[in-house]
Amino acid sequence: MITVGIIGASGFTGAELLRLCHAHPEFEVAFATGDSQAGVPIAALYPSLAAAYGEQQFVPYEPSLLAGVDLVFCGLPHGASQALMAELRRGVRWVVDLAADFRLRDPGLYPQWYGEDHAVPELLPQFVYGLPELFRSDLIGADAVAVPGCYPTATALALAPLLQAALIDTSSIVVNAVSGVSGAGRPPKPATTFCTVDEDFTAYGLLTHRHTPEIEQSVVRLSGAAAADVSVLFTPHLAPMNRGMLVTCYLRPAGSVSTAELLALYRSTYADEQFVVVTDESPSTKACMGSNTAHVSVRSDPRTGFIVALGAIDNLTKGASGQAVQCANILAGLPEATGLSSVGVYP
């Protein structure tokens, strides 16, 4: 068995990690921290986990918890894991961080997009970017992973075949995306109360959303283009649903290509990927609910001259905790799909 600790387990991604780890045949949860919920039974905060965790409580983090633990998942808010990371790297064999603290290769981007300097830039090169379908080779033999954000995951999977085949202009990518409210986290906020969100649909983070440089970083890597030749206009929206994410990308083609040719390219690219479904229909958030699977599709529009690429995921599973488990499986040398489902929950 692989002994697992979850730091920041009281949030929604932490709850999803607890659910997935319980179903995992090789993972045993040794501790689940939640400083704001310390002493609270897991089942009291998340009754859905009662059958799995009984009377086990959230505990405050302290370094002694790391003794005898093989793998740590960090589900902390941005910035918090930077203060702990040197200690975690010394204390356990594998670290999988779900926050944005170690996703960006350029430390100079953190002040611009996150409002503060990176506290431990010397640790950034130790982390690989954990999107297995696109960067699997980086994960093999690694011991520290930065799990991509939910929007960058859905966007990169929707765009990758086009970027790898050099079929689009990387200087004018437009991405409109929609997320369920769970993406804002568990703590209550004025913008995410029921009365605010119900029967409403709104854009947010206009021109400044923190996932923009992460998306551009993937575009650079997948296309081979210079950073100066990559520009992404990213606009996220909040939808009145609990979980789920849909991205719609508008792209200028580099040449003439039909929808049939594009769909064939997508099927060829993802033919061996068990967690990507290429569909002729428009991808659906509900089709992905509770699964680690992304649904993608693509269209070429000769009338407007645009290519439209679409991707749907569950923002808490493939967009966070499921992808974290998928990465951890690779680090540990386990079959990649261990403990994960490619099948969604419906209705």
Q: Which of 21, 150, 249, 327 is catalytic?
A: 150
How are strands ordered across the β-sheet holding 294-301?
Answer: 202-203, 232-238, 173-179, 245-251, 306-313, 294-301, 276-278
User: Which residues have CB under 8 Å from 81's CB, separation 6+?
Assistant: 7, 74, 88, 97, 99, 101, 102
Residue with tokens 């808490």: 316
Cβ proximity of 97 and 146 under 8 Å: yes
- Count CA atoms closer than 13 A to 75's CA, side-chain side: 31
Cα–Cα distance, 75 to 146 (Å, whole number): 11
Q: Which of 334, 326, 347 is nearest to 16 (CA)?
A: 326
Confirm whether 150 is a catalytic residue: yes
Residues marked as catalytic: 150
